[in-house]
Each structure stands twice: as C-alpha cells, then as structure tokens.
Amino acid sequence: MFGTNKRSNRVPGAGIRLAAAATAGAVTLAGCSTPSKAPTTSTATSTPTTTSQTTSTPTSTAPRVPEDRLSSILLTVDEGNAIMGATNMEDLGGLATLDTNAFAVSNADCLGAAHIAQPPVYSDSGYTAVKFDVLHEPGQRYTHSIEQAATTFPSADQALAFVQASAGKWKACAGQDVTDAFTGSTLTWTFANFAGDPPKISLIMNRHNARGWACQRAQSAVWNLVIDVKACAFKIADQGVQTADKIAAKATQ
C-alpha cells in the first residue's frame, strides 16, 4: 500500500509487511501491512480470569464482543471494495497478534496516529485479544488499501479509555510533519485535520511527494471492542470512518 511505511511480501516470522508504489510513475510509498500466516485466534496479555458465583447474584449483562468473533467482524474483500471504490482488492491474511514491524517515527507520540495495532501503543492497555488484517489489490502497485484491527478489552470502560488516550495524542499530532522510517525507507507525512470525539475519532495524513496519496486513520470503541483502521488511496475522504463503522455494525449484530 502507499500508506505508511514499506512493508512487503509475506516473510514467515516477520509479521505484517507491505510494500507500496504508485501505479503511475512507480512512486514507492508505504504504510500498510501484509500479514503472514498466523493462528486465527490468540489471546494477549491481561486475559481476565473467571470466578464462579457463590451466590444467586446475577453476573453483568453488559454486551460484549467475545474474542473468538474477531475474525468474523473484520471487513471482507467485497465489503472493502465497496467502501474504497475498488474492484479487485484481496485479503492478505490476518494475524492474531499486534503488528510485529518496528516503525521509527520522528515524534514517538504520533506512532499510534500513524499506524494501527502498534505494540508500544497497546502494551499497557489491558487488551485481551487482537485480530489484524490487510486488504489491497494484488502486487506492490496497488491503489487502495485497508488495514484493520479489532481488539477486545475486559470492559467497555477500558475500551473507551483507550480511545480517549488516543484522542489526546492524535490531536497533538494534527498539523505536524512527521517522518516515518522502516527497513531503510523514510517517508514524510503531514498530519492534517483531526475530527470527532471519543468513542470515535479520525485523522487524515498526507504523504509528501506522492501524487496525492493519503490515508484516513479511524478508531472507535464499541462495547468492549476497540476498532483501529487505516484506509489509504489517491482520493481519500471518510473511507477509514466508513470501515470502522462497518466493523462496529458487524460486531453488534
């Protein structure tokens, strides 16, 4: 994808990697992820334990998304094509871990605004499980890309708190030029307008010298779920928000 940083081809054990280049003029871009094969389910740190009830007091009836539903609520190829105005995106396969790629951004507080599912962003959040997937056209000269992640938390309050923390950092990144380095390639992005309020926020990021390639980051909290999305194309508007909304609709069905 043209989006954030060069990640390319599926390398066993290397996590999610993508390469990006403009179809017209072969402008190399980056910012998407290409997942390698991984188990379809996984639990992360802080998985809460369950204790038996010793009295007749009912347990909480707050709605929640179980960990084993994460794969089924992410966008399919057809759903991604419809949102992006594409016709032949493909599913690169998902990971049941956070992104294993190591990105270096000039402002560390903007890492979460630049990339989804980053370990330094989620490590102390208390999340219990994650599913990360990528859609784009075949090859390395694709023109549409969606990176999507869904992460469960023990409670709705913890999911909302995560998005609230993201909102403060994303707002501070708006208006900044940030360099983003990965495997020897350095890109520069301008973070543009921040929009929304928790539980749903978004941010546009424009890549320098890339013929208009841009991405919309979107993040939302729904029940105990955090949805983390990055949608990129040469004409980007609210596709990131549309993707997050579609995932939320599937999660709460």
Q: Does the pLDDT at position 16 exceed 90?
A: no
Across residues 174-178, what is the average pLDDT?
97
20-43+66-251 domain in CATH 3.40.1000.70?
yes
pTM for this entry? 0.80
Among 12-16, 87-91, 132-136, 185-189, whose mean pLDDT is lowest?
12-16
Q: Which pLDDT score, from 0 to 100, does residue 60 have?
A: 57
Side chain identity at residue 110, one-letter code: C
Across residues 166-185, what is the average pLDDT?
95
Strands (E), the chain: 20-21, 28-29, 90-91, 104-105, 129-136, 144-152, 177-182, 185-197, 200-207, 214-222, 225-233
Q: Which pLDDT score, from 0 to 100, does residue 62 have?
A: 82
- Which is more confidently placed, 103 or 45? 103
Q: Does the pLDDT at position 147 exceed 80?
A: yes
Across residues 123-137, what is the average pLDDT?
97
Q: Which pLDDT score, from 0 to 100, does residue 184 have?
A: 86
**Residues 141, 211: Cα–Cα separation, whole Å:** 14
Q: What is the mean pLDDT of the chain?
A: 83
Q: Which pLDDT score, from 0 to 100, does residue 31 have?
A: 52
